[in-house]
Amino acid sequence: MSHSQPSPAEPTPSMPQATPPGAPVAHDLPVEAVHARLAALAEPVRGTEQVGIFAALDRVLAEDVVSPMDVPPHDNSAMDGFAFDGAALTDGRPLALQVAGTVLAGHRWEGRLGPGQCLRIMTGAVMPQGADTVVPQEAALPASPAGGPESITIPPGAVRRGDHRRRAGEDLARGRTALAKGTRLTPAALGLLASLGQATVPVVRRLRVAFFSTGDEILSLGTPWREGAVYDSNRYTLFGLLARMGVEPIDLGAVPDEPQALEATLRAAAARADAIVTSGGVSAGAADHTRTLLDRLGQVEFWRIAMRPGRPMAAGRIPRPQGAGGEAGADSAAVLFALPGNPVAAMVAFLVFVRPALWRMMGCEPTAPPALRALAAGPLHKRPGRTEYQRGIVFQDADGTLCVRTTGPQGSGLLSSMVQADGLILLPHARGPVAVGEPVDVLLFDGML
């Protein structure tokens, strides 16, 4: 047993007595306090590997990448048109130029433009010596159109000096940090690395996350249904949530409410994984053995969190068996996140707490999910004193204003509502009921990248 002691400034996580069901309880930990405790628990793992750039998508960069070259590597044209010396432009007067040749992208014109000359140039082609400006071909008047102009006239005001020239190094300058350690490698970041000629990338090793469900009533798929049982859904939502993060998910199945079975699974998980995510068995029920077991196995805290859904949760460390460090890294313990069993509560607690903690373990400072401000299409029940995450559907009204309505009943067993929802309506701790037309933040399930 190694509950950490609550500090005097923080409420005790002990069980509240005789509280009306669903009412906020003064003892419950605010969401921010849970974030702070999890940040202390989730330390970055050690270990890096060099991977090919395609395999680097969604991984975390293990070292700063310094640009070995300028990108673009040379001054070049941003338009198909004519390159010339912009110093020849005069206010209010047309400029006539003779076309000295053509340069295509991927080629360099070796000559030097003289006074009164221009070069036909394609987008991306290297700017010739003696030119600093490009006039797009549709803005130049050809003096002799057949077979390409031999000379052009630039009407007054068509371009200013320096227009449509892209400078060497304007995207990335040689010697500058192109991507910082800890960056999550998005599609854009992969492209940036490729633009430096980098075919392999140093990344943080893949985080191993074991997950399992608990409960006598939980049936694995393929098992015939029986009275009193439910098919396991949490393992599949957790698999999806973990896989989306680019971690290595390790499925350890469904475990009955038997202390020996739970202990064996937890020990096996700690031996193989950096983190363990479980669902069920964290509230006050007669078969919720997880609590007793965790008290014995590791340093685990149980929390009642001032939020809905996702009120009960446990988190802490489960020591690795001796000699298991080689496989799961040098750290002596795996981090346990024990989520509530109700399917919506498990998902919401994962999104709010586990996801940012796992990003931290991967060496990446987590970013807040994208939020949208929308007007409540109907009144929302909300009690001050807890953070609520209501499932929301975003739409535009007849005027094009962004609005949000709930999916309907907000029971934390209604997994169908998570499928219908676009995101979670975030109602902060202190907020009371929301009237129609009041603005609220919606945390979107899907970001663009």
Ligand X SMILES: Nc1nc2c(c(=O)[nH]1)N[C@H]1C(S)=C(S)[C@@H](COP(=O)(O)OP(=O)(O)OC[C@H]3O[C@@H](n4cnc5c(N)ncnc54)[C@H](O)[C@@H]3O)O[C@H]1N2
Residues that bind ligand MOO (CB under 6 A): 308-311, 340, 342, 345, 412
Contacts of 131 (CB under 8 A, 6+ apart): 83, 84, 85, 113, 118, 119
**Is residue 309 packed enough to be buried (19+ CB in 10 Å), middle (13-18) or exposed (0-12)?**
buried
CA nearest neighbour of 252 among 217, 208, 299 = 208
Nearer Cβ to ligand MOO, position 117 or 283?
283
Nearer Cβ to ligand X, position 24 or 128?
24
182 binds, among ligand X, ligand MOO, none (CB under 5 to 8 A by kind): none
Nearer Cβ to ligand X, position 30 or 281?
281
Nearer Cβ to ligand X, position 59 or 391?
391
281 binds, among ligand MOO, ligand X, none (CB under 5 to 8 A by kind): ligand X
**What's the min distance (Å) between Cβ of 310 and ligand MOO?**
4
**What's the min distance (Å) between Cβ of 432 and ligand X?**
21
Nearer Cβ to ligand MOO, position 181 or 355?
355
Residue burial 117-152, b: 16+ Cβ < 10 Å; e: rest:
bbbbbbbbbbbbebbbbbbbbebbeeeeeeeebebb
Q: Which tokens is 364 given?
A: 């990446």
Q: In whole angstroms, what is the distance from residue 405 CA to residue 396 CA?
A: 11
**What's the min distance (Å) between Cβ of 24 and ligand MOO?**
11
Contacts of 223 (CB under 8 A, 6+ apart): none
**What's the min distance (Å) between Cβ of 288 and ligand X?**
5
When asked if residue 182 is in the footprint of ligand X (CB under 6 A), the reply is: no
Q: In whole angstroms, what is the distance from residue 77 CA to residue 136 CA?
A: 10
Q: Which residue is nearest to ligand X (CB)?
A: 341
290 vs 279, 297, 354, CA distance in Å? 10, 10, 18
- Segment 400 to 429, residues that bind ligand X, using CB under 6 A: 412-413
- Segment 343 to 362, residues that bind ligand X, using CB under 6 A: 343, 345
Among 284, 286, 330, 448, binds ligand X (CB under 6 A): 284
Q: In whole angstroms, what is the distance from residue 346 CA to residue 344 CA?
A: 5
| E-strand stretches of 220-304 | 230-231, 248-255, 275-279, 299-304
Nearer Cβ to ligand X, position 242 or 282?
282
> For 155, phi and psi rounded to 5 degrees?
-65, 155
CA nearest neighbour of 414 among 351, 347, 353 = 347
Among 94, 285, 325, 428, binds ligand X (CB under 6 A): 285
Stretch in the footprint of ligand X (CB under 6 A) among 100-108, 110-118, 338-346, 402-410: 338-346
Q: In whole angstroms, what is the distance from residue 375 CA to residue 222 CA?
A: 44
Q: Which tokens is 245 given?
A: 């993060």
**What's the min distance (Å) between Cβ of 412 and ligand MOO?**
3
> For 189, phi and psi rounded to 5 degrees?
-65, -35
**What's the min distance (Å) between Cβ of 279 and ligand MOO?**
11
169 binds, among ligand MOO, ligand X, none (CB under 5 to 8 A by kind): none
Q: Would you report the helix, strand and coil content of the chain in percent, each value rounded to 5?
A: 20, 30, 50
198 binds, among ligand MOO, ligand X, none (CB under 5 to 8 A by kind): none
> What is the DSSP-derived secondary structure letter of residue 380?
B
- Segment 212 to 271, residues that bind ligand X, using CB under 6 A: 213, 215, 217-218, 230, 232-235
Binding track, positions 97-116, relative to ligand X; x by CB under 6 A: --------------------
When asked if residue 183 is in the footprint of ligand X (CB under 6 A), the reply is: no
Total chain residues near ligand X (CB under 6 A): 26
**What's the min distance (Å) between Cβ of 366 and ligand X?**
24
> What is the DSSP-derived secondary structure letter of residue 225?
P
Peptide bond into 128 cis (omega under 30): no
230 binds, among ligand MOO, ligand X, none (CB under 5 to 8 A by kind): ligand X
Point out which residues bind ligand X (CB under 6 A).
213, 215, 217-218, 230, 232-235, 279-285, 288, 311-312, 340-343, 345, 412-413
